[in-house]
């Protein structure tokens, strides 16, 4: 694949060309030359786009596509196309499927479905067999097949001894164990944040305490085992404090926050719209502020879309019976830019790669082209025409966003909208 990108402003603090507007020549999938002006004698494909900015390719540590088993929600092929058009050159795929991805063969299957795509797929294997929380899955075998972490998607491990054993066992081969932060006996049948809004709307509350208790437990287990832990999608101010203290003790812990938990609060629930039924639930503005501060000071390691396509039959029902989840790939950049600067937003979208075994890409000559193409200065109302996913369950529909992506150049391929 050969191409010439014209008049692109590079946004990459690790590049010698950061903040410069340049041409980028790509030959056979690698960056051959970066200069103020490059001619095109070989008649390569020229890419000229309005207010074009270029950054490292983005990474998402938590996406679900449905396949195998829930192809009506999303397929791996269309999911990777959506990720590519949204600026992501690598994604970590949750074991949120039927059957659950919990064996060497399952990891091999999803990797084969993603071969030759512009966006690279990094499978996350289930932590327990069938994600039932009872017996550990074949962690070492899945690691050898290419699994980058182990996680029962949005299913807490209630047995502390099982979590202890998982951390001990995985530490033998550097495996990353993920633990969903929710104490199920405390959360009970809660469907939204326990707060004045849950009382006013008559919806059962899921208290912040449920998340914080589980995190506190897991951090004690982590200290005991000296393992390697990732806590996905934290959502409360106290959770940030707990993880900040753990990092000060030099524990090997990382965490992420879902973009919708940064931008939206439980005030959105006013109309009982199930697009806002997510897990963990939308919390308060105080929680959002603490999460944003946690990102700024490095306590929170990465953001994620927690992209989770749900078909209309499971969303267009009463709030109590609707499935949890929102899609988030298409809206990620525009939503983050309602909170952060362009430089900070792009920095957040490229963080977390090393934790999940993804090679970092720097924009410099000789490196493989792993690029996101974007326009950071477009204000628009996000609607269904902006959605490539099969499922349309976006919590950001109708919201004013800032910034759009054009697509990516990665894995010797170009994907543009």
Confidence of residue 41 (pLDDT cuts 50, 70, 90): confident
pLDDT score recorded for residue 407:
98
If phi > 0 it is left, if psi is from -120 to 50 it is alpha, else beta; for residue 226 that is left
pLDDT score recorded for residue 325:
97
CATH architecture of 57-356: Alpha-Beta Barrel (3.20)
Mean confidence (pLDDT) of the chain: 97
Q: Give the domain ranges of the chain.
A: 3-53+365-380+402-416, 57-356
Question: In angstroms, rounded to a whole number, what is the distance separating the alpha carbons of residues 323 and 278?
Answer: 8
Rg (CA), the chain: 21
The pair of structure tokens assigned to 293 is: 């501060």
- What's the average model confidence in pLDDT over 23-51? 95
Give percent of the chain above pLDDT 70.
100
Tens of pLDDT, residues 354-385: 999 999 989 999 999 999 999 999 999 999 99
For β-strands 192-193 and 205-206, DSSP reports them as parallel
Half-sphere exposure of 93 (CA within 13 A, CB side): 32
- What's the average model confidence in pLDDT over 155-167? 98
Return the CATH superfamily for domain 3-53+365-380+402-416: Urease, subunit C, domain 1 (2.30.40.10)
Tens of pLDDT, residues 330-351: 999 999 999 999 999 999 999 9
At residue 147, does pLDDT exceed 90?
yes
Question: In angstroms, rounded to a whole number, what is the distance separating the alpha carbons of residues 391 and 319?
Answer: 18
306 among known catalytic residues: yes
Question: In angstroms, rounded to a whole number, what is the distance separating the alpha carbons of residues 401 and 264?
Answer: 13
If phi > 0 it is left, if psi is from -120 to 50 it is alpha, else beta; for residue 9 that is beta
Exposure b/e, 222-232, CB count within 10 A at least 16 = b: bbebebbbbbb
Confidence of residue 37 (pLDDT cuts 50, 70, 90): very high
**Which of the following is catalytic: 23, 60, 287, 306?**
306
């Amino acid at each position: 694949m050969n191409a010439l990108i014209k008049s692109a402003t590079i946004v990459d603090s690790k590049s010698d060309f950061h903040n410069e507007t340049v041409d980028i020549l790509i030959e056979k999938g690698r960056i051959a030359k970066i200069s103020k002006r490059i001619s095109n004698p070989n008649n390569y494909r020229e890419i000229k786009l309005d207010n074009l900015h270029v950054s490292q390719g983005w990474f998402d540590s938590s996406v679900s596509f449905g396949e195998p088993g829930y192809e009506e929600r999303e397929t791996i092929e269309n999911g990777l196309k959506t990720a590519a058009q949204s600026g992501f050159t690598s994604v970590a795929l949750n074991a949120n499927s039927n059957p659950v991805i919990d064996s060497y063969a399952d990891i091999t299957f999803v990797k084969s479905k993603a071969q030759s795509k512009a966006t690279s797929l990094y499978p996350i294997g289930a932590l327990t067999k069938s994600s039932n929380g009872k017996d550990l899955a074949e962690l070492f075998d899945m690691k050898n097949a290419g699994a980058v972490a182990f996680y029962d998607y949005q299913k807490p491990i209630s047995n502390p001894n099982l979590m202890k054993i998982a951390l001990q066992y995985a530490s033998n081969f550097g495996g990353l164990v993920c633990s969903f932060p929710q104490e199920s006996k405390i959360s009970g049948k809660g469907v939204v944040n326990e707060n004045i809004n849950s009382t006013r709307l008559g919806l059962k509350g899921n208290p912040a305490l449920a998340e914080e208790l589980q995190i506190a437990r897991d951090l004690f287990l982590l200290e005991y085992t000296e393992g390697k832990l990732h806590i996905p999608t934290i959502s409360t101010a106290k959770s940030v404090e707990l993880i900040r203290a753990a990092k000060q003790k030099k524990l090997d812990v990382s965490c992420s926050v879902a973009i919708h938990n940064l931008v939206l609060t439980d005030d959105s629930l006013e109309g009982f719209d199930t697009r806002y039924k997510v897990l963990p639930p939308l919390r308060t503005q105080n929680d959002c502020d603490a999460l944003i501060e946690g990102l700024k000071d490095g306590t929170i390691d990465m953001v994620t879309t927690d992209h989770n396509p749900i078909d209309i039959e499971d969303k267009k029902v009463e709030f109590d019976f609707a499935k949890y989840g929102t899609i988030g790939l298409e809206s990620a950049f525009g939503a983050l830019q309602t909170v952060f600067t362009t430089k900070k937003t792009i920095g957040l979208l490229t963080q977390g790669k090393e934790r999940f075994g993804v090679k970092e890409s720097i924009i410099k000559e000789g490196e493989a082209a792993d690029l996101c193409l974007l326009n950071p200065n477009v204000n628009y109302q996000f609607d269904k025409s902006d959605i490539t996913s099969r499922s349309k369950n976006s919590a950001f529909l109708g919201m004013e966003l800032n910034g759009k992506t054009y697509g990516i150049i990665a894995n010797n391929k170009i994907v543009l909208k």
